[in-house]
């Protein structure tokens, strides 16, 4: 955002607006045993697995499936089953 520095200098504070569905996704990720941390950045939700893998999640994703697909893609380089 080009006007960010002038706004900050005038005393305004800029924060990301996390939607309720994204808040729910972050909560779901925190409860998952394979996820060590979850956060919101630049309009997307990310989670870090206990194996130090950073994965982007969508609201309707099945967390287990996304982790398995991510690991499969890293092994084979092919998306899908």
The ranges assigned to domains in the chain are 16-76
- Distance (Å, rounded) from C-alpha 36 to C-alpha 78? 26
Phi-psi region of 32 (alpha: psi -120 to 50; beta: other; left: phi over 0): beta
Reported as a pLDDT band with limits 50, 70 and 90, residue 20 is very high
Residues 68 and 34: beta-carbon distance below 8 Å: no
Reported as a pLDDT band with limits 50, 70 and 90, residue 7 is confident
Encode pLDDT of 22-74 as tens digits: 999 999 999 999 999 999 998 899 999 999 999 999 999 999 999 999 999 88
Q: How many other C-beta atoms are found inside a 10 Å radius of the C-beta of residue 57?
A: 21
Look at residues 36, 65, 62, 32 and name the one whose alpha carbon lies nearest to residue 48.
Answer: 36
- Residue 6: pLDDT over 70: yes
Strand extents, DSSP E, the chain: 35-41, 44-49, 54-57
Q: Is the pTM of this model over 0.85?
A: no
The tokens 């996304």 sit on which residue? 66
């Amino acid at each position: 955002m080009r006007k960010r520095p002038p706004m900050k200098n005038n005393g305004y504070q800029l924060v990301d607006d996390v939607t309720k569905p994204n808040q729910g996704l972050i909560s779901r990720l925190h409860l998952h045993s394979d996820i060590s941390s979850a956060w919101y950045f630049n309009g997307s939700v990310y989670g870090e697995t206990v194996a130090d893998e950073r994965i982007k999640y969508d609201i309707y994703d099945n967390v287990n499936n996304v982790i398995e697909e991510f690991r499969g893609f890293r092994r084979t380089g092919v998306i899908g089953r």
